[in-house]
Structure 1
């Protein structure tokens, strides 16, 4: 009987270990996507800080789905060719997050820069507008 209980306990531990999804640590900037942003749009500012002339800077951001339904990045429009957004178009489940990569190419830019990036979300009525700010020396 004791041996049977020990075997059952080990089996329960084996089943419980490694089968649950791992939580991904979200380091860095998190942008929350809410039902309100999907309906009315929203804005946020991403600051690259001070960059040297000709420097190409990369930031990794998290898009956290705090809405009640899945959200996916469908496309984006930019005010300048100096900004790009790399993203996975797969839907982000409610409560989950996905990392995107924002790049700012400072070649040809001088002084304080403010660029706009409109992110179209699948199922959203208005885009999320990101202002991209950098000071080029």
Structure 2
């Protein structure tokens, strides 16, 4: 009985401590984001995010397919570029971005995945990147058409890789 009570007590204490750590880290993240948002960035020395293209159209894709595109970019500014966050306009659009600073003159890419799910017709989705550029936010746009019925394509659209990305 004592062992059971002791075990349950340890589990309860561990759960409470874990919750507090999660709460503290999320508060820190919000405070950090507020501090970064109020930073004044000198446009003359700030990093600049230059995309080869900021919009991509997948064309016709079948319902339920998953496609991805790599948006290539260069930091054309004078200081390291930091992408602090990236969010899709809905859960079907997921960006993957570099987590380390991008040196001036360096090139990298952002992978944007789109899950067509049960969507139909023309779909346009946005990815918003929070950065340390003078603009503070950059936007990427993807679009696709998911035909219905007899117009639907029968093969899944090819996934883009960094080697064949446009």
Q: Residue in 1 aligned with 2:87?
A: 77
1:130 to 134, 140, 145: 140
Q: Does 1:46 align with 2:63?
A: no
Q: Residue in 2 aligned with 1:116?
A: 126
CA distance in 1, matches of 2:97, 2:58: 19
How many residues were matched structurally?
101
Q: Superposition RMSD on alpha carbons, in Å? A: 2.6
1:24-81 CA-to-partner distances (Å, cap 9, x unmatched) read xxxxxxxxxxx69968xx9932222211111100112222111122112110122111
Q: Residue in 2 aligned with 1:103?
A: 113
**TM-score, normalised via structure 1 length:** 0.64
**TM-score, normalised via structure 2 length:** 0.53
Choose between structure 1 and 2: higher helix proportion. 2
Higher relative contact order (CA 8 A, sep 6+): 1
Q: Residue in 2 aligned with 1:58?
A: 68
CA distance in 2, matches of 1:114, 1:60: 16
User: Mind listing any 5+ residue stretches in structure 1 that lack a counterpart?
Assistant: 1-34
User: Mind listing any 5+ residue stretches in structure 2 that lack a counterpart?
Assistant: 1-42, 148-166
CA distance in 1, matches of 2:135, 2:47: 6
